[in-house]
Amino acid sequence: MAKREFAVFIDGEAGTTGLDLRRRLARMPGLRLRSLSDRERKDPAARRALMAEVDLVALCLPDDAARESAALAESLGTAAPKILDASTAHRVHPDWTYGFPEMTPGQAARIAAARRVSNPGCYPTGAIALIRPLVDAGLLPPDVPLAIHAVSGYSGGGRSMIAAHEANGGPAFELYSLGREHKHLPELTRYSGLLRPPVFVPSVGHFRQGMLVVVPLHLDLLPGRPAPRQLEAVLARTYAGARLIDVASSPSDGRLEPEALNGTDRLELRVFGREAEHQAVLVARLDNLGKGAAGAALQNIALMLGLDDPAEVRSEALLGA
């Protein structure tokens, strides 16, 4: 008996995440992509009609447009498709399931059973992966005061930032969102298991994609004064069965560059320790367009539609392949 083919519509397929997701989905067995003409994309009636014909809609839109599109789909009632939202619009909404399958035991099953899933942000993916297991293990108190530093390639900033860097060269490095809340902070706080929002300092470098997320810790201020190797052991146990998350050894020269995982959907976690000073530096490395965006979307779509793990097609679809 032939397997069923699922129909998917990407609302916002012309954007950075939408284009990447479309390339990936086109290579995935069991899916058929549906599209609208340029004129029809601006017609709510045409979009609603197509939504009624597909199994899943992926929203690759700005927040306000994503809310409008989700409402349009939900207006179909029992005929509404499943929805995956790649924007920040629904990431802390109580009626939406957070799409980080490896976050906690059972999260992948919750995503598979959900009709509305919010795709995680790139920065929170790295931060949550580092912090949540340590909070759950009791090594980090939920009210611990944390600072999180991160650097991303400019593709994470959307069309205007991409255009500025590619047309005019752009700055070599810049901090941003200083003095105001970054849009990823609510989900980062909630799903890390923290009660106190961390001080989050994001930055952008003059490279297209790649990301490092850094969490420094004073271990002598934590309960039990854990050693760096204890933190690493908790992370290793947490992700022992995860296909895409590796707890890697720290390089002896103490250096990491952000682009090493470009073209993959892997997430690497490391613990750098200074035992004499009772300090540790936790680092997550990922491709902000891979596990931080379209790669995570593909993983969630596969779960939502009951398809085989798409890991083998991911890296081929990256970098314009």
Helix (H), strand (E) at residue 152: strand 147-153
Tokens 């992370």, residue? 235
**Rounded Cα distance, 55 and 228, in Å:** 46
What the block records as the tokens of 208 is 């297209």
User: Of 100, 154, 158, nearest to 131 (Cα)?
Assistant: 100
Tokens 């320790």, residue? 273
Distances (CA, A) of 38 to 12, 84, 248, 321: 11, 22, 45, 24
Q: For residue 231, how many other CB atoms are within 10 A of its CB?
A: 24
Distances (CA, A) of 10 to 32, 35, 85, 118, 315: 11, 7, 10, 14, 20
**Rounded Cα distance, 320 and 317, in Å:** 7
**Rounded Cα distance, 213 and 163, in Å:** 24
Distances (CA, A) of 193 to 105, 190, 273: 14, 6, 23
Residues serving a catalytic function are 122
* Residues in contact with 85: Cβ distance below 8 Å, sequence separation at least 6, in sequence order: 59, 66, 70, 96, 116, 117, 118, 119
**Rounded Cα distance, 11 and 68, in Å:** 11
Bridge partners for 274 per DSSP = 279
